[in-house]
Amino acid sequence: MSYATLLVHIDLDQNNDARLRVAGDLAERFGARVIGVAAQAEILPVFYTADGYAAGFVAEDNLADIKKRVQQAEERFRAALTGRVKQLEWRSSLEDPSEFIAEQSRAADLVVIGKTPSDETQEPLDQISPSDLIGHIGRPLLIVPHDVKALTAERVIVAWKDTREARRAAFDALPFLKRAQQVIVYEVDENRDPAEAQRHVDDVAKWLGGHGVNAAGRVEPLRDSPALQLEALAKKEGADLIVAGAFGHGKLREWILGGVTRDLLGQSSCCQLLAH
């Protein structure tokens, strides 16, 4: 099992350097092709005149601006990856970016997006969020913070909770885990049953070992919050990738992240691979 095709989202208004560096590194590591995607819905005029001339002029101007920014995004994508990746492909559309990414994810094994700094803003019609994607892309989602220089994935934390989402995430992360030097399957014992939690992580570590992964289980009692403890462990162990199941509820665009997933996204400074 490997990642044969990566799909990377290119923001029209934000810095894409980190995700492009990571996508290039992963493409070289796995011998993958890379599909770049960008989208923004058309901005409709909010006023009309009797003859419609002014409104039509504004619509044309906005459309031309969107097309120019999409073209610039493609140029940045190709400039960053040409020479590093054997096969590049570009796809773009004038539609909601989350819906477009979800549609195009059918062509990829792994979807790569950026993590917008909390102090930066985006245009509402071209912004995306993990909660818009995770619930319905049907692919693992790799989230790259804007200040990440590289993703070595030599040391990886698998955040364990005995659920289908965690099982799916561990399976989807196997290409990373097989190449890692050390994988820690980590469960925060929220039920005050450390023996049972240890059985969980030992089972997972043994399963991973059957795939050639150097994995060990670890359990800690709940002290603060699972997300904070995960982040602390990643820093202590020098891990630059956290693998986790994405928990949530709702339908399509109403899909809402669960508390631990939301906290992890808000707090973690390393890359995260999420699956639902």
Whether 187 is in a domain gets the answer: yes
- Residue 174: which of 71, 50, 30 has the closest Cα? 30
Coil, strand or helix at 44: coil
Residues 137 and 174 in one domain: no
Q: How many domains, in total, are found in the chain? A: 2
Mean pLDDT to the nearest integer, 171-189: 98
Residues 6+ apart with CB under 8 A from 165: 245, 246, 247, 275, 276
Residues 75 and 203 in one domain: no
Residues 118 and 210 in one domain: no
Whether 107 is in a domain gets the answer: yes
**Measured between alpha carbons, how far is 186 from 166 in angstroms, rounded to an integer?**
11
Residues 118 and 206 in one domain: no
Tens digits of residue pLDDT in 128-157: 777 778 878 999 999 999 999 999 999 999
242: CATH: 3.40.50.620
Whether 216 is in a domain gets the answer: yes
- Residue with token string 């979800």: 102
Residues 78 and 18 in one domain: yes
Identity of residue 71: Q
At residue 40's C-alpha, the angle toward residues 37 and 43, to 5°, is: 165
Whether 84 is in a domain gets the answer: yes
Tens digits of residue pLDDT in 4-25: 999 999 999 889 999 999 999 9
Residues 126 and 77 in one domain: yes
